[in-house]
């Protein structure tokens, strides 16, 4: 197979072949590094080649050099960011200078004898986004290093990085100071790291690396032609497997990942991607190393791009590259998934998470991720803990390591000690016991001690959420976040797809009511395929219903799909982020337009259409007498309501404890809403996070709320509270609390609960 474009691959190929020979010899670490810099210098016609590696003090230490003063080895040290070498490490980027001394960061180190050299080419030695050192070549002349030189040095640096991490260069007994850039990581030692808890739960299990890791020995090709054939075969298998999955897609969950796979198919046929991998093989790498290199280059180029669309594409490509590696390595079926697998990844898309056998998956840990990322949404729906933002975790684990994920606190334990594992296994048993008690309540009514019926609903948004309705014994779905369906896809769902999806939801819930909230996009709910301009205050910006009313096509399509799906059945539609009655009216008019359209076309309408609004902008609370006669129901979105009420970003972790949802001010507002709704005889619910916490839920009942909607895991604890609650005494108690000037009435409510034996 010919190499696709004119790239001079002879240099790196010869260099890698020599590198392989050096690696095959039994040498001390220093001799090995000396030979490596020597062979690089010779092959690149450079007078100097030096390897600086990060030592245990996180300094860049000159470990080996060909050309500089040998006495400077292990003596010259630079901080990351200091001098040209430090700049390469800090920026994680190549520095190619024909006149290095004129660069503002140039720092002369007399002991090295560097003053003779004018040109400088430095590349980071990097692995998994972590800088392990810098590789430099220098010449006396004003040499303009060509792109091919950069590429060659880069390729060798990548192989070196693998060798360092797998300790084929720096052995455990040599150079005790070296940290491998992992902050002293030593396999076998227990470590715990802090991340952010994105999906609740606890798990103990065995590490599975999501992104396959190629061993150092698998990097350098023996036979280039054979590697090209392997790559091409791998790609053909990959394409076939994607086609096969797409053709056989009838399973429930796959509906949510189908679109992502369509995108993969597109990428898998992209000649540019394939050519870059073939070029990498031609430069001396194996097929799997070529996949890894092209992906690393891509991450390097796109990784810092803030554009969410490009970042999503990068994730798609990462995923595709990983699938290709599985074909090359022969682990396509992920057969080796152990019981209680803890999957560790840099980042992960929703489809990838759904690919894992759910009966074996116990937890997920990511280096990236966010509260609203798609993987988080899916993990919550699957009820497995997910901890994100754990820095460098991928490089600190080996497949098969024991691992604890604490999705309550956001802490993870790598290779936990026996004590830690025991403590967690006790906590897991305790949770399971409680869960069993809650499940036993599933068919019991949610009724207070004084006989008041309370409606407990669940919040949902994906097909995988639907079984929770039956499992929890909830009355219905009080909030169906339709935007989640838009978010887990990579293109806008078409009308038919939306209709099919809503129909499946309605089919699945049978007679239970479902409140479909129309798309609530913008702010933290970003669609990679929808253009959006950066805003100074996105939470207050062009989002949600504002966006929908300005682009009514999207909303009308959604309403059309909902009407068609509900044909002959009851349909409940709710609008998000309504700030004034006029906005509600405008949105409702669109429902009327679509109903008339349906009538004109002779479509079978829903048996009953109820239209309501969320109350999550404080301004709406002061228009209730105008609003309530126009709506069929109202649901308070306390997450946004509290955020706007206190002018306090709901997703800023520093502000989490600043204000309390049990502050007298919020409770007074919520009481006002409950009183007006009762006066107008309009059904009222609350569907923010408050509803799912027993003490907050208790306060809501004390204020007059009789329906609340929460995440499925909360139904058990809240129902237990309801069944022990004397409502009348609570109402009395709360009368005195809402007028107080305290920061919070939490203490007083805890006191009430204790006195009346209410489990909260």
Binding site for ligand PEP (CB under 6 A): 479, 481, 520, 616, 637-640, 687-688
Query: With CB cut-offs between 5 and 8 Å by kind, which of ligand PEP, Mg ion, none does residue 688 bind?
Result: ligand PEP
Smallest distance, Mg ion to C-beta of residue 564, A = 26
Q: Which tokens go with 742?
A: 């305290």
**213-225 core/surface letters (b: 16 or more CB in 10 A; e: else):** bbebebbbbeebe
Smallest distance, Mg ion to C-beta of residue 555, A = 16
Beta bridge partners of 411: 194, 406
Query: With CB cut-offs between 5 and 8 Å by kind, which of Mg ion, ligand PEP, none does residue 319 bind?
Result: none
Alpha-carbon span 468 to 462, nearest angstrom: 11
Alpha-carbon span 179 to 182, nearest angstrom: 6
Q: Which tokens go with 429?
A: 């048993």
- What backbone phi and psi angles, to 5 degrees, belong to 358? -65, -25
Give 714-725 as a 3 state SS string.
HHHHHHHHHHCC
Alpha-carbon span 124 to 136, nearest angstrom: 9
Alpha-carbon span 163 to 220, nearest angstrom: 11
Smallest distance, ligand PEP to C-beta of residue 183, A = 37
Query: With CB cut-offs between 5 and 8 Å by kind, which of Mg ion, ligand PEP, none does residue 380 bind?
Result: none
- What backbone phi and psi angles, to 5 degrees, belong to 731? -60, -45
| Footprint of Mg ion (CB under 5 A) | 616, 637, 640
Smallest distance, ligand PEP to C-beta of residue 687, A = 5
Instruction: Please indicate whether residue 49 is annotated as part of the active site.
Output: no
Smallest distance, ligand PEP to C-beta of residue 616, A = 5
Instruction: Please indicate whether residue 733 is annotated as part of the active site.
Output: no
Nearer to ligand PEP, 473 or 688 (CB): 688
- What backbone phi and psi angles, to 5 degrees, belong to 216? -55, -35
Q: Are 681 and 634 in contact (CB under 8 A)?
A: no
Q: Which residue is nearest to Mg ion (CB)?
A: 640
Beta bridge partners of 571: 609
Give the β-pairing of 341-345 and 202-209. parallel
Nearer to ligand PEP, 126 or 544 (CB): 544
Catalytic residue among 154, 327, 374, 413: 374
Query: With CB cut-offs between 5 and 8 Å by kind, which of Mg ion, ligand PEP, none does residue 687 bind?
Result: ligand PEP
For the stretch 293-296, contacts whose Cβ atoms lie closer than 8 Å and that sit 24 or more positions apart, written own/partner, are 293/155, 293/158, 294/321, 295/321, 296/126, 296/158
Alpha-carbon span 23 to 17, nearest angstrom: 10
Smallest distance, Mg ion to C-beta of residue 520, A = 6
Q: Are 754 and 700 in contact (CB under 8 A)?
A: no
Residue 451 gets the label, from left (phi > 0), alpha (psi -120 to 50) or beta, of left
Nearer to ligand PEP, 162 or 616 (CB): 616
Give 16-34 as a 3 state SS string.
HHHHHHHHHCCCCHHHHHH
Residue 129 DSSP code: T
Nearer to ligand PEP, 410 or 637 (CB): 637
Smallest distance, ligand PEP to C-beta of residue 686, A = 8
Residue 421's contacts (CB-CB under 8 Å, 6 or more residues apart) are 204, 402, 404, 413
Smallest distance, ligand PEP to C-beta of residue 599, A = 32
Nearer to ligand PEP, 377 or 628 (CB): 377
Nearer to ligand PEP, 263 or 459 (CB): 459
Smallest distance, Mg ion to C-beta of residue 640, A = 4
Dihedral sign for Cα atoms in the order 572, 576, 578, 582 = negative
Query: With CB cut-offs between 5 and 8 Å by kind, which of Mg ion, ligand PEP, none does residue 340 bind?
Result: none
Catalytic residue among 49, 210, 413, 687: 687
Q: Are 524 and 561 in contact (CB under 8 A)?
A: no
Query: With CB cut-offs between 5 and 8 Å by kind, which of Mg ion, ligand PEP, none does residue 457 bind?
Result: none
Nearer to ligand PEP, 351 or 687 (CB): 687
Nearer to ligand PEP, 393 or 458 (CB): 458
CA 717 to chain centre: 28
Alpha-carbon span 592 to 584, nearest angstrom: 12
Query: With CB cut-offs between 5 and 8 Å by kind, which of Mg ion, ligand PEP, none does residue 312 bind?
Result: none
Alpha-carbon span 429 to 146, nearest angstrom: 62
Nearer to ligand PEP, 106 or 542 (CB): 542
Beta bridge partners of 343: 208, 364
Smallest distance, ligand PEP to C-beta of residue 196, A = 18
- 98-to-6, 85, 95, 140 alpha-carbon distances in Å: 25, 15, 10, 10
Nearer to Mg ion, 299 or 481 (CB): 481
Alpha-carbon span 161 to 167, nearest angstrom: 10
Query: With CB cut-offs between 5 and 8 Å by kind, which of Mg ion, ligand PEP, none does residue 638 bind?
Result: ligand PEP
- DSSP helix/strand/coil, 6: coil
Active site residues: 374, 687
């Amino acid at each position: 197979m010919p190499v696709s474009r004119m790239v001079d691959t002879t240099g790196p190929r010869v260099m890698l072949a020599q590198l392989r020979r050096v690696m095959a010899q039994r040498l001390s670490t220093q001799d090995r590094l000396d030979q490596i810099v020597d062979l690089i210098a010779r092959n690149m016609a450079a007078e100097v080649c030096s390897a600086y590696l990060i030592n245990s003090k996180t300094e860049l230490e000159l470990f080996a050099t060909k050309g500089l003063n040998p006495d400077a080895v292990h003596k010259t040290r630079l901080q990351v960011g200091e001098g040209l070498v430090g700049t390469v490490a800090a920026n994680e980027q190549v520095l190619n200078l024909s006149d290095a001394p004129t660069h503002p960061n140039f720092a002369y180190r007399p002991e090295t004898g560097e003053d003779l050299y004018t040109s400088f080419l430095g590349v980071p030695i990097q692995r998994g986004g972590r800088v392990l050192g810098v590789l430099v070549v220098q010449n006396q002349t004003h040499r303009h290093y060509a792109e091919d030189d950069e590429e060659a040095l880069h390729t060798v640096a990548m192989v070196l990085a693998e060798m360092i991490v797998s300790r084929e260069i720096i052995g455990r007994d040599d150079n005790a100071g070296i940290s491998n850039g992992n902050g002293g990581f030593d396999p076998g030692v227990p470590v715990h790291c802090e991340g952010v808890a994105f999906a609740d739960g606890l798990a103990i299990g065995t590490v599975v690396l999501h992104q396959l890791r190629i061993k150092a020995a698998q990097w350098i090709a023996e036979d280039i032609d054979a590697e090209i054939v392997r790559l091409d075969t791998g790609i053909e298998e990959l394409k076939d497997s994607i086609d096969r999955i797409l053709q056989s897609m009838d399973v429930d969950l796959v509906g949510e990942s189908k679109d992502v796979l369509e995108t993969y198919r597109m990428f898998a046929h992209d000649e540019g991607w394939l050519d870059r991998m073939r070029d990498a093989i031609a430069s001396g790498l194996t097929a799997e190393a070529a996949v890894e290199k092209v992906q690393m280059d891509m991450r390097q180029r796109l990784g810092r791009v803030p554009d969410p669309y490009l970042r999503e594409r990068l994730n798609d490509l990462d995923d595709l590259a990983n699938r290709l590696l599985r074909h090359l390595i022969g682990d396509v079926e992920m057969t080796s998934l152990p019981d209680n697998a803890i999957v560790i990844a840099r980042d992960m898309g929703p489809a990838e998470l759904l690919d894992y056998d759910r009966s074996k998956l116990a937890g997920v840990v990511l280096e990236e991720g966010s509260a609203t990322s798609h993987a988080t949404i899916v993990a919550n729906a699957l009820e497995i803990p997910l901890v994100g933002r754990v820095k460098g975790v991928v490089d600190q684990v080996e497949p098969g390591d024991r691992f604890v994920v604490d999705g309550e606190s956001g802490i993870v334990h790598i290779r936990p000690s026996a004590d830690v594992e025991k403590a967690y296994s006790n906590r897991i048993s305790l949770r399971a016991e409680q869960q069993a008690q809650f499940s036993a309540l599933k068919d019991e009514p949610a009724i207070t001690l004084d006989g008041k019926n309370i409606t407990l609903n669940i919040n949902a948004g994906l097909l995988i959420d639907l079984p929770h309705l039956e499992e929890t014994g909830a009355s219905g779905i009080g909030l169906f976040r339709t935007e989640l369906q838009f978010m887990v896809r990579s293109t806008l769902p078409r009308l038919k797809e939306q209709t099919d999806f809503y129909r499946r939801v309605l089919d699945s819930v049978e007679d239970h009511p479902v409140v479909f909230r129309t798309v609530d996009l913008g702010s933290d709910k970003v669609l990679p395929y929808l253009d959006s301009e950066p805003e100074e205050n996105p939470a207050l910006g062009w989002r949600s219903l504002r966006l929908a009313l300005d682009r009514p096509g999207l909303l009308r399509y959604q309403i059309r799909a909902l009407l068609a799906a509900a044909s002959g059945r009851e349909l409940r539609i709710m609008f998000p982020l309504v700030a004034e009655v006029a906005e509600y009216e405008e949105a409702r008019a669109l429902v009327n337009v679509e109903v008339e359209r349906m009538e004109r076309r002779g479509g079978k309408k829903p048996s009953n259409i109820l239209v309501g609004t969320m109350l999550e902008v404080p301004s709406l609370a002061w228009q209730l007498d105008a609003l309530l006669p126009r709506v069929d129901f109202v649901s308070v979105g306390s997450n946004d309501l509290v955020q706007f009420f206190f002018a306090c970003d709901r997703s800023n972790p520093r502000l989490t404890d600043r204000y309390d949802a049990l502050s007298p001010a919020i409770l007074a507002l919520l009481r006002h809403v409950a009183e007006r709704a009762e006066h107008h005889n309009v059904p009222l619910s609350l569907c923010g996070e408050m509803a799912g916490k027993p003490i907050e839920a208790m306060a809501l009942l004390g204020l007059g709320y009789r329906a609340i909607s929460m995440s499925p895991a909360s139904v058990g604890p809240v129902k237990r509270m309801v069944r022990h609650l004397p409502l009348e005494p609570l109402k009395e108690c709360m009368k005195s609390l809402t007028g107080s000037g305290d920061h919070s009435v939490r203490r007083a409510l805890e006191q009430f609960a204790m006195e009346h034996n209410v489990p909260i």
